Every structure is written in C-alpha cells, then in structure tokens.
Amino acid sequence: MKLLAIAAVAVFVPVSAYAQGPKSCDELKSEIAKKIEANGVKTYTLEIVDKDKDAEGKVVGTCGGGTKKIVYRKTAPPAQAPAKETSKP
C-alpha cells in the first residue's frame, strides 16, 4: 500500500509542476532581482541574452524553454561627490 502511495506522489508532483507552465523571462528576472536586493546588493545588472551568446557575468537563471539565460553582473557604485569643507574664519 505504501508503495502505491509513493508511486502516486511520484507521478502527481511532476505533472502539477508542469501544469503551472514555465515562467516568462521578465517574471524570472524580477524574482531574481528581488532576491539579490534582499541580500543588500544595490549596484548590479541583470541581462536576458540568448543561450548561445557570450556575456560577461554569472548565469543566474535560464528561461524561454532553455533558449535564453539571465546574466548577473555587479557594477561599481556611483561616484560620490567629495564632502564640502567648512571654511574657518
């Protein structure tokens, strides 16, 4: 009986995941961006490129049925203006 229950779960779980369908590239990119920002990263780029295209950065996801990839690249923080010096009389 346990074997039958395990077999039913093993068949049902992949079918229910498939029924939801693949996520769009923009939806997946948005989810990844939220996770990156939750880790405190402020300066980065996420780019959706073709799977075969070389892109500088780290691949953090695939989408489009495996035809595209999402590439993460950390960027330099914006330059800060020097602090104003107070003049002494």
Q: What is the pLDDT of residue 49?
A: 95
In a domain, 69, yes or no: yes
Residue numbers of the domain that contains 55: 22-77
Query: Can you tell me whether residue 47 is helix, strand or coil?
Result: strand
| Single pTM value for the model | 0.62
In a domain, 14, yes or no: no
In a domain, 17, yes or no: no
Q: What are 62-69's contacts with CB under 8 Å, separation 24+?
A: 63/22, 63/23, 63/24, 63/25, 63/28, 63/29, 64/22, 64/25, 65/22, 68/25
Q: What is the pLDDT of residue 82?
A: 63
pLDDT in tens, 37-56: 999 999 999 999 999 999 89
Which tops the pLDDT comparison, 66 or 4? 66
pLDDT at 12 over 90: no
Total tally of structural domains belonging to the chain? 1
